[in-house]
Structure 1
Amino acid sequence: MAEHTGKLGRHLIDFDIKFRRNRQINAIYHALRLIFPLILVGTLADFINQTWLQRSGYYYQTLHVAKWAFQLKILRQYLGLVSAGTLGLTAILITFAVSVYLVAPVTPLIVDRLMAGIVAIIALKSLNVNRQSVLGNHPVQWLSNNLGLSGIFVGVLVGLLVGNGYRWLLNHQHATQRRLEQNVGGIALWLLVLTGLGFIWVSTQTVSLNAALLAISRWPFQLPHDLGTLVGFGLLTGTCQWLGILGPIASVGGQSIEAAQNLAAVLDHTGWQIPHPVTLHTVVDVYATSGGPGMVLALLLAIFLVHHNVRQRRMGWYCLIPTLGNFNAPLLIGLPVIFSPILLLPFLLAPLVCIALSWGCLVLHWVPAVAYPLANGTPGILQAYLGTGGSGAALLLSIVELGLSTAIYYPFVKWAGIAEEAVSHEPTIS
């Protein structure tokens, strides 16, 4: 296989194999695979709820669900509970799993592994508290909104911190002397230190750690809608997603106003002269996020085109339905794309190519800009077509960009599969 990969492919494969063998990365990958079934179930529930049962959903509108479905309110509530009970706890799950997998190789005792995970959860919760409830001596309130998909990165950091610390503690204890007093003393010390760090953060910062990261990711883009801004936003969104900060990144200020003005111009005047043809919505949201940020629908197609990796193809089938609705979390976590050095390059490059091409076509007036609002779950390949009222040029541009993105992903998906196979026969964490 090596002779067919090329020089770049060999370098990336070798680097990815070394990367996967790293103890920290190995624990993260095991943790991502552990929580994948929960993320898949939660995403499917969220997909059905948002696209089939909500009035803003694509299938609710196109299939007239309200006319033939019963007990919609109860179904919404039930699926909302399923989604909240899985996706809403993603950061907690990943924190627990990373810490456990780091500790597992150094101790055969289940109690030590579980305690490492429990301590990690407590540390994560200490960084996600309502500031006023702590400083005002009120009952402590937890910030549950920061514990979902957007909190994966913080959860990984806390899991690594606690897992490595607990691992060090176990390595410096003698198995024959690991008495109850030692365990209680070590755990108490860890809890006091980690809670102290959380208290320092709460006392000096006005937001949680996860909210601070999201705020940093949004600040640069109160700027005009030029190509540099669009490319920068695409790079930022892709980097955040690759690091595990999933979910939407806030758009440039004024997006809703501009969208309303575009729609009003189309409804009030003949022709298709809109005041804001180039915005984040008309370029990035419509053309560069087919299947979700990262053009992951193209990633899915590349997976089906690469035949030698059975696991990749099986993962593709698992993630097919949510990806078609632009829900990309299962594919990013299950493959995984998150923290994958090989897939980082196409994950950033494919959207940038789409942004540049779409911007050029809009500026040259080769395609009309999207003006009509799009329902949640609208298939990515149809967003430009429906948003322009049925423009064939917009549909053709979407198809061309999906094809280009698939071609970009294809060799990297093949190389990622080779690297995965190289490490798949190595001993797993016991």
Structure 2
Amino acid sequence: MKIINTLEEKLVPIAVWINQNNYINGIRKAFIILMPLLMIGSIFLVISVLPSAVYQDFMYNKFGPSWKRTLEIPINATFSLIAVYVAFLVAQQLGKQFKIDSIAVGLLSLASFLTLTPLKSTTTLGEVITFTWLGSKGLFVAMIIGIVVVKIFKFFVNHNILLRMPDGVPPEVTKSFEALIPGTVILSLALLLRVTMMNTDYGTIHDFIYNILALPLKSLGTSFIGSFLTVLCISLLWSVGINSGSMINGLIRPFWLENQVDNINALKEGLPLPHIITEQFFDLIWMGGAGSTLSLLLAILLFARSNHIRSVGGIGAIPGIFNINEPVLFGLPIILNPIMLIPFNIVPLVMLTTQYVAMSIGLVSKPLGVPFPWPTPALISGFITVGDISGSLMQITNLIVGALIYLPFLRILDKASKYEEDQVKIFQKEQQELE
């Protein structure tokens, strides 16, 4: 219990600060809103690249040689413009957090992002439009712009530096004119920054931020060590009852998302997938939820003898299949239980390691980058993630390994629970005999 108390003392204040931080919450909510749009784009991607020669021939003969290019239109409208959506959504969600005009700051953030983003480049063939920074590579700048725009707009609101309209003017018109002064200042600063960066070696704010800040952070966050620390943080915070998945994921998702888009672009071109670490890589691990408790449910089903533990396993089985494990976490319990917290933290790290090694040496395919809803059951999620049966086989292997790790600790709990149940039965029998 001393370890648990120490974890509570050190981790809870950090988790509370993260949950209450308006900027972190705004960014997290922006990406949550964006996820369904990316899933829609992924549907068209899957239709386009389904790995079946019969299917590909049928589509070619039915719709002609340009059928894939047609499907790329909605794919490009989603994945290739991610930074555009983020520039608006981050500012808009932060505007809601700070109770200022969320639509105005969202549009100003988008306009500032486009002001700072070069949309054209000159080649030997002439002038062509390029969308390099409108996609995943522009995410970091889009988030920073969203935050800065909100802070500047908030400064003008707090100091009442706004253009006021006479009484009787409709509220919508009043709000529009109130944004004139801060909006003019914000776009002027964006233009000034654009011109300034053009006279540096970097050329654009995108090149500067991406090379100085985003690339090192991405390299750390999407490395094996960074992934190991991510999983460890999620498990440790859950150990003291803090729902940490969405919180941690919200911080690192922008870096995963860039890898995800890189893999999708490689998939479209028929090239080898460059990255192992995407958000879907972790979806393969969290089978049953935090702690990969589907492995624990498997061990309970096969080996538990205590009525209490078997009943918890029965109640938690159906939710567990859909990655909801609160019945197990609080019914067994695992949370604040020194015995079960050991495998609860170890199992996901072992799964992470075996899965990373298997993908690194080619035994398991790399994640395609196609997002899917988090309640997707194991085995199905494995197949969707990598696009073939190797993902499902990896999950089966991890399930068995996880169950073997959970088993010794489960038996300790099971024996103690069975002993208590037997003692109750003996007591009840003695009471009946006395009566």
- 2:73 aligned partner, one-letter code: L
Q: Which residue of 2 aligns with 1:33?
A: 32
CA deviation string 1:101-136 (max 9, x = no partner): 22235557xxx4322111111221233205866xxx
Calculate the TM-score normalised by the size of structure 1.
0.52
Are 2:94 and 1:95 aligned? Answer: no
- 1:76 aligned partner, one-letter code: K
Are 2:129 and 1:129 aligned? Answer: no
Q: Which residue of 1 aligns with 2:22?
A: 23
Matches of residues 219-258 of structure 1 in structure 2 within 5 Å? Answer: 233-235=223-225, 242=252, 244-245=254-255, 246-248=257-259
Matches of residues 389-428 of structure 1 in structure 2 within 5 Å? Answer: 399-400=396-397
Structure 1's unaligned 5+ residue stretches are 53-58, 221-228, 252-259, 261-279, 317-344, 363-368, 409-430
1:193 CA displacement? 0.7
SS in 1 for 2:259: coil
Change beyond 3 A, Cα 1:72–1:213: farther
Are 2:200 and 1:204 aligned? Answer: yes
1:33 CA displacement? 2.4
Q: Which residue of 1 aligns with 2:234?
A: none
Q: Which residue of 2 aligns with 1:79?
A: 71
Given that 2:90 and 2:143 are in contact with CA atoms closer than 8 Å, whether structure 1 keeps it comes out as: yes
Change beyond 3 A, Cα 1:88–1:315: farther
- Greater Rg, structure 1 or structure 2? 2
1:173 CA displacement? 1.2
Structure 2's unaligned 5+ residue stretches are 167-173, 231-248, 263-270, 295-314, 325-344, 371-379, 406-435
- 2:186 aligned partner, one-letter code: W
Indicate the RMSD between aligned Cα atoms, in angstroms. 5.7
- 1:198 aligned partner, one-letter code: R
Q: Which residue of 1 aligns with 2:186?
A: 190
Change beyond 3 A, Cα 1:122–1:72: same
Q: Which residue of 2 aligns with 1:115?
A: 104
Calculate the TM-score normalised by the size of structure 2.
0.52
Q: Which residue of 1 aligns with 2:156?
A: 169
Given that 2:30 and 2:90 are in contact with CA atoms closer than 8 Å, whether structure 1 keeps it comes out as: yes
CA deviation string 1:195-244 (max 9, x = no partner): 21122223314465445565567799xxxxxxxx9999434689899250
Q: Which residue of 1 aligns with 2:353?
A: 353
Q: 1:66 aligns with which of 50, 56, 61?
A: 56
- State the alpha-carbon separation in 1 of the partners of residues 114 and 73 from structure 2: 21
Change beyond 3 A, Cα 1:96–1:349: farther
Q: Which has the higher contact order (CA 8 A, sep 6+)?
A: 1
SS in 2 for 1:295: helix
Number of equivalences: 307
Percent of paired sites with the same residue? 15
Q: Which residue of 2 aligns with 1:269?
A: none
Segment drifting more, 116-125 vs 176-185: 176-185
Given that 1:237 and 1:249 are in contact with CA atoms closer than 8 Å, whether structure 2 keeps it comes out as: no
Change beyond 3 A, Cα 1:178–1:248: same
Change beyond 3 A, Cα 1:230–1:354: farther
Are 2:136 and 1:149 aligned? Answer: yes
1:153 CA displacement? 2.6
- State the alpha-carbon separation in 2 of the partners of residues 200 and 311 from structure 1: 55
Change beyond 3 A, Cα 1:205–1:400: farther
CA deviation string 1:334-390 (max 9, x = no partner): xxxxxxxxxxx99x956862378659xx9xxxxxx549998968999689x999xx9
